[in-house]
Chain A
Amino acid sequence: MNVGFIILLLALLPALFKRSGWFTALWIAASLVLGYDYARVFFGNDSYSYLLSTPGMLGVIPLGLNKLSAFFGLIFSLGLPLGILYGHFYLKQHHSIGISSHLFWLGVMGISMHGLLWMQHSVLFFMFWELMSLSSFFCVIQDRSHSLKAGLNYLITMQIGAAFLIAGFALNYLHSGSFDFSHFAGMGRLPLMLLLIGFAFKAGFFPFYSWLPQAHPVAPSHVSGIMSGLMIKTGLYGIIALISCNQFTLAEIAIFALIGLLSAFLGVIHCLVESNLKSALAYSSIENMGIIGLGLCIGLLGKLTGHPVMQTLGFVGAMLHTLFHSIFKPLLFYLSGNVLCATGTLNIDELGGLKKKLPVTAKLFLLGVLAISALPLGNGFISEFAILMGSFNGLQNASLPALIISISILAGITFVGALALIAFTKLYAIIFQGEARSSKTIAAKESGIGMLVSPIILGFLVLLTGIFGNLALWFIRPVLGWMNLDPRIINSNLGLHYQSFTVVFSILLLLMGLLWLIRRLYVKEQTNPTWGCGYHLPNPKMQYSSMAYVQPLEYFLKPFILIPHKRELDNAAFPKSLQYSEELKDFLFSLVILPLTKMIDRFLKLFNKIHDGKTSSYIAYSLGFLVLMLIWVLRVAK
Chain B
Amino acid sequence: MIVNLIALIFLPLLLPGIINKTKAIMVGRKGQSLLQPLFNVVKLLQKGEVLSQTAGSITQYAPILALSATVCSALFIPFFSRNPIIGFKGDFLLFIYLLALAKGVMALAAMDSGSSFEGMGTSREMSYTAFLEPAFMLVIASLIYGGKLLPMAEMFSRHSIDFNEIWSLIVAIMTAMALFIMLLVEAARVPFDDPNTHLELTMIHEVMVLDYSGFSLALIHYSASLKMLIYASLIAHLLLPPNIYLTPLFYIAALIIIAVSIGILESLMARFRMNRNLELVLVPVSISLLVMAALIARNVGGW
Contact = CB atoms under 8 A, between A and B. Distances in A.
B52 A507 contact: no
B113 A434 contact: yes
Interface in B181-223: 200, 210-211, 214-216, 219
B111 A415 contact: no
Contacts of B69: 376, 508
The winner among B54, B61, B69 for most chain A CB atoms within 10 A is B54
Contacts of A400: 296, 300
B129 interface: yes
Contacts of A508: 68-69, 72, 98
A433 B114 contact: yes
B48 A376 contact: no
Given A388-B93, A428-B108, A531 B49 contact: no
Given A375-B97, A375-B101, A433 B49 contact: no
B77 interface: no
A376 B115 contact: no
B67 interface: yes
A608 interface: no
Nearest to B117: A533
Contacts of B140: 392
Contacts of B124: 552
A538 B116 contact: yes
A421 interface: yes
Interface of B: 48-56, 58, 60-61, 64-65, 67-69, 71-72, 75, 86, 88-91, 93-94, 97-98, 100-101, 103-104, 107-108, 111-120, 122-124, 126-127, 129-134, 137-138, 140-141, 144-145, 148-149, 200, 210-211, 214-216, 219, 274-275, 278, 292, 296, 300
A540 B65 CA distance: 28
Given A389-B93, A434-B114, A523 B72 contact: no
Contact of B64 (A410, A411, A497, A515): A515
B149 A393 contact: yes
Contact of B71 (A417, A511, A533): A511
A385 B93 contact: yes
Given A392-B140, A395-B149, A400-B296, 5 more contacts: A366-B108, A392-B90, A418-B133, A422-B126, A429-B108
A240 to B, nearest CB: 24
A576 B51 CA distance: 42
What is the predominant secondary structure among interface residues of chain A facing chain B? helix
A531 B210 contact: yes
Contact of A553 (B88, B107, B130, B145): B130
B127 A553 contact: yes
A507 B72 contact: yes
Interface of A: 352-353, 355-356, 362, 366, 369, 373-377, 381, 385, 388-389, 392-393, 395-396, 400, 403, 407, 410-411, 414-415, 417-419, 421-422, 425, 428-430, 433-435, 493, 496-497, 500-501, 503-504, 507-509, 511-512, 515-516, 518-519, 522-533, 538, 540, 542-544, 548-553, 555-556
The winner among B52, B94, B108, B130 for most chain A CB atoms within 10 A is B130
Contacts of A377: 101
A527 B53 contact: yes
Contacts of B86: 500, 503-504
B52 A530 contact: yes
B210 A555 contact: no
Contacts of B55: 530
The winner among A375, A496, A522 for most chain B CB atoms within 10 A is A375
B219 A515 contact: yes
B64 A425 contact: no
B113 A544 contact: no
* Complex A-B, nearest 3 residue pairs according to Cβ-Cβ distance, in ascending order: A544-B119, A434-B114, A429-B111
B68 A425 contact: no
Contact of B137 (A414, A525, A540, A550): A414
A497 B300 CA distance: 32
A530 B134 CA distance: 35
Contact of A374 (B97, B108, B210): B97
